[in-house]
A = this chain, B = another copy of it.
Amino acid sequence: MRKENMVHRVIIQVSDLDKVDGALVSCRNLLDDMPDAEVEVVFHQSAIEAVRRGTPREGSVMDLMSRGARIVACKNSMRTRNMGEEELIAGVSIVKAGVGEIVRRQAEGWIYLRL
């Protein structure tokens, strides 16, 4: 089967702070299930709080990065919450609009997962 040899590229959207712990677990489960997948996780809307430096989820987010996932923060969502770049967990990237990033990645052939 071709799919067994394919490297999947997966763009993950995390929107809701009240569901963010389940989302982080699902990201880890995906990396366990597909160790070769290229994974990018976009945090936007209220879930942007999960990539704030010094908060309880910092360990989980760092763990995803250490396993090769790219973590992205939405600038629009940061602006709404007066979050500065220096308040992000080290290593987190910024995009102008999280939703635009998700659309562009899909246009490039990435698979979409909304947690």
Contacts and interface: CB of A to CB of B under 8 A. Distances in A.
A47 B95 CA distance: 28
A34 B32 CA distance: 34
Contact of A8 (B19, B37, B103, B112): B103
Nearest to A12: B99
Interface of A: 3, 6, 8, 10, 13, 15-16, 19, 22, 25-26, 29-30, 32-34, 37, 44-46, 76, 80, 96-100, 102-104, 106-108, 111-115
A34 B99 CA distance: 10
B33 A96 contact: yes
Contacts of A32: 97
A29 to B, nearest CB: 5
B16 A19 contact: yes
Given A8-B107, A22-B15, A30 B100 contact: yes
26 contacts: A3-B108, A6-B107, A8-B103, A8-B107, A10-B103, A16-B19, A19-B45, A22-B45, A22-B46, A25-B45, A25-B76, A26-B45, A26-B99, A29-B97, A29-B99, A30-B97, A30-B99, A30-B100, A33-B96, A33-B97, A33-B99, A37-B103, A102-B113, A103-B113, A106-B112, A107-B111
